[in-house]
Amino acid sequence: MGRIIAIANQKGGVGKTTTAINLSACLAEIGQKVLTIDIDPQGNTTSGLGVDKNATENNVYDLLLGECEIKECIIKTEIDNQYLVASNVNLAGAEIELIGIEEKEYILRKQVSKVADQYDFIIIDCPPSLNMLTVNALTAANTVLVPIQCEYYALEGLSQLIHTIELVQERLNPDLEIEGVVFTMYDARTNLSLQVVENVKGYLHQNIYKTIIPRNVRLAEAPSHGLPINLYDPRSAGAESYRLLAQEVLHKGETEWQ
Ligand SMILES: Nc1ncnc2c1ncn2[C@@H]1O[C@H](COP(=O)(O)OP(=O)(O)O)[C@@H](O)[C@H]1O
Ligand SMILES: [Mg+2]
């Protein structure tokens, strides 16, 4: 069975999508078969993996509304071992359209379970809110990976996220665990980044990855070329860091958590 990891944090701009794209692609690069599911109406994971978000026959919106089966919306990307369920702006209306639908929290879970044995990893990129889309992702997942941006307000909203995870554990998915916390956009030139890392470590009693993702302009440029960082600039600091993160995720359980 593939490991199903939701990448969640209701704050926008913390590096969820960048992590979804590049963790997926770096796992694929080392021979893991990866299905990435974009469940954010912005569709940036879709375009970042080189797929035209407005040209797919079926996407995650059709899937959630029961208009197709997951097999009908999985796309083989141009990247070896990398598959995708795409998203686009249509998904923004899904939450309202799902009102009154029975067991709507379980739609993604039921669909993902049909293909989970065909992949090593299923990575779900969540939208920047704790809405029904994120709840679907958390209900489908085995674990949640939380990116935290190294900035002053890093801790803001984290207790809300943890509360939501606990509610999902109680009511929808008792086996859900926190995979780990990864720091993103670390700027070695400032003391602030270092302080944030120390603060969060003191506050959060969660697994924290040793790998810290640096602020790296190549990571910001890569999506406009429709490429993950390991293909766009394989020798960049961004590529190196996401490769290390992929190794840590792959060898989960063997890591000594800090
Ligand atoms: N490590 C990084 N270095 C430089 N820019 C980054 C890095 N991580 C993310 N970004 C940029 O920051 C912005 C927000 O990142 P994104 O991954 O889209 O966040 P989220 O999905 O949480 O909203 C994007 O423009 C992205 O390219
Ligand atoms: Mg995003």
CA distance 204 to 76: 38
Report the candidate in 140, 182, 128, 161 with the shortest Cα–Cα distance to residue 19.
Answer: 182
From atom 27 of ligand 1, which residue's Cα is the shortest distance away? 220
- For the question of whether the overall pTM of this predicted structure is more than 0.75, the answer is yes
The CA–CA distances, whole Å, from 45 to 7, 15, 16 equal 12, 11, 9
Which atom in ligand 1 lies closest to the alpha carbon of residue 19? 17
pLDDT reported for residue 94: 94
The pair of three-digit structure tokens given for residue 254, joined into one six-digit string? 């063997």
From atom 14 of ligand 1, which residue's Cα is the shortest distance away? 13
From atom 13 of ligand 1, which residue's Cα is the shortest distance away? 13
pLDDT reported for residue 253: 55
State which of 18, 38, 184, 240 you would mutate to test the pocket of ligand 1, scoring each by most atoms of that ligand within 8 A of its C-beta: 18
Where does ligand 1 bind, in terms of residues with CB under 6 Å?
Answer: 12-18, 44, 128, 184-185, 213, 215-216, 219-220
Longest dimension (CA), the chain: 51
Among the bound ligands, name the one nearest to the CA of residue 184.
Answer: 1
Among the bound ligands, name the one nearest to the CA of residue 218.
Answer: 1
Among the bound ligands, name the one nearest to the CA of residue 18.
Answer: 1
Measured in Å, residue 40 CA sits from the centre of ligand 2 at 7
Domains and CATH numbers, the chain: 3-250 (3.40.50.300)
From atom 26 of ligand 1, which residue's Cα is the shortest distance away? 220
Among the bound ligands, name the one nearest to the CA of residue 221.
Answer: 1
Which stretches of the chain are DSSP H helices?
16-29, 44-48, 60-64, 70-73, 94-97, 107-113, 132-140, 158-171, 191-203, 217-221, 229-232, 237-250
From atom 3 of ligand 1, which residue's Cα is the shortest distance away? 215
| Residue 61 contacts residue 97 (beta carbons within 8 Å) | no
Per-residue pLDDT of the chain (258 residues; tens, 9 = 90+): 899 999 999 999 999 999 999 999 999 999 999 999 999 999 999 999 999 999 999 999 999 999 999 999 999 999 999 999 999 999 999 989 999 999 999 999 999 999 999 999 999 999 999 999 999 999 999 999 999 998 888 888 888 999 999 999 999 999 999 999 999 999 988 888 888 888 888 887 778 999 999 999 999 999 999 999 999 999 999 999 999 999 999 998 554 444
pLDDT reported for residue 139: 98
Which atom in ligand 1 lies closest to the alpha carbon of residue 9? 22
